[in-house]
A = this chain, B = another copy of it.
Amino acid sequence: MKTYGVIMAGGGGTRFWPLSRKARPKQFLNLSGKDTMVMDTANRLSKIAGTEDIFVVTSESHRDMTVELTKGTLLANHILGEPAARNTAACIGYAAMEIIKKYEDGIMVIVPSDHFIKDEAEFTNVMNRAVKIAEVTDRLVTIGIKPTFPCTGYGYIKNIESEDERYREVLEFVEKPNLETAEDYLISGEYAWNSGMFVWKASTILKYFERLLPDIYAYLVKIGNAMGTESEAAVIRETYPIIPKISIDYGIMERADGVLMLEGDFGWNDVGSFDALEDVYGSDENGNVNMANAHVIDTKDCILYGTNGSKLIAALGVEDLIIAQTDDVVLVCDKNRAQDVKLFVEQMAGTDSERYL
């Protein structure tokens, strides 16, 4: 059975403002120093699926840019545009329907477009194992990341060894814990970070939609029936925006029985906010992550990021700051408040400062 890559690229990346902008969210930025995150992701998936079998699901408004950025690697008609953001259940259902209707069935390897993975060989290894398991078992497979610290920013997957040593059984998906609980999880060894990466057959996940999310399934069928017909674009444009907004985790994963998990230990980071850049790039002897044209004096544990090498960041006597400079905005933020950068986007929406978003 053929393997398809599905890259979910619909996010806003507001915790990376002002680098991440409405017109060019985080997944379209080069934060790794190699390529845009979406292209890094496509290149990573190309060891698991052929590049001609990789899809990207993104906002309709970013579709043209995505086609442009992936040109020469991915097929333009595999860049699927969502007329509205309806969360991950809709996104995955749409891709599953596309595969079923236009390419018969296949294994979907579904990954977010904006994660960083240090050990790509191990990622390939784990994913290829997941593909085989999904193919033979017909079950839902997810990748749980082996926790390295008591992180309160991720959801966790409680899991247990199974009789088949090729995979573990998922007992429960749990919400982001407080620090104490996260420490317990870490010590117990029974919990993995929920990475949002999934492997299953298109036909399998559509069966789960039919059973657990029948209203969404009905919309997907409507869209699926229009696929390949003249009315495809119009039906998607009308139907997609009214699909209920729910994540695949809430809608299916937490409610499905018999979900399998493979443990991933490949230097994963979801690059959720600026402080993640420390993990991506490493820091210098003063604890600074310097991705800018910067001159620093008596400055420690800061993250410096500049999008324009001709502009200088000068820091003196400061600690634990994020300083990010674009051509029109400079952000100065306490590193412990990295999660709250999205507040700027929330507060400036609809104001005179909207042009900075």
Contact = CB atoms under 8 A, between A and B. Distances in A.
Interface of A: 18, 295, 297-298, 310-318, 321, 323, 325, 327-334, 336-337, 340-341, 343-344, 347-348, 353, 356
Contacts of A297: 340, 343-344, 347
A348 B295 CA distance: 9
Nearest to A341: B316
Q: How many copies does the complex hold?
A: 2
B348 A329 contact: no
A295 to B, nearest CB: 6
18 contacts: A18-B312, A295-B348, A295-B353, A297-B343, A297-B344, A311-B327, A313-B332, A314-B330, A316-B332, A316-B334, A316-B340, A316-B341, A316-B343, A317-B334, A317-B337, A318-B332, A318-B334, A321-B332
* 7 smallest beta-carbon distances between A and B, as pairs: A317-B334, A317-B337, A316-B333, A312-B329, A330-B330, A314-B331, A315-B332
A12 to B, nearest CB: 17
A137 to B, nearest CB: 47
Contacts of A356: 312, 314
Nearest to A340: B316
A295 B340 contact: no
Contact of A330 (B317, B325, B337, B348): B325
Given A311-B329, A325-B330, A330-B330, A347 B295 contact: yes
Nearest to A292: B330
Given A297-B343, A337-B298, A337-B317, A312 B330 contact: yes
A254 to B, nearest CB: 33
Given A18-B314, A314-B329, A314-B356, 4 more contacts: A311-B329, A315-B331, A316-B337, A316-B343
A1 B347 CA distance: 63
Nearest to A308: B328
A328 B323 CA distance: 15
A16 to B, nearest CB: 13
Given A295-B344, A295-B347, A297-B347, A318 B333 contact: yes
A298 B333 CA distance: 10
A327 B325 CA distance: 11
Contacts of A323: 330, 332
B328 A310 contact: yes
Nearest to A356: B312
A316 B331 contact: yes
B328 A314 contact: no
Contact of A344 (B18, B314, B330, B340): B314
A51 to B, nearest CB: 38
Contacts of A340: 297, 316-317
Contacts of A353: 295, 312
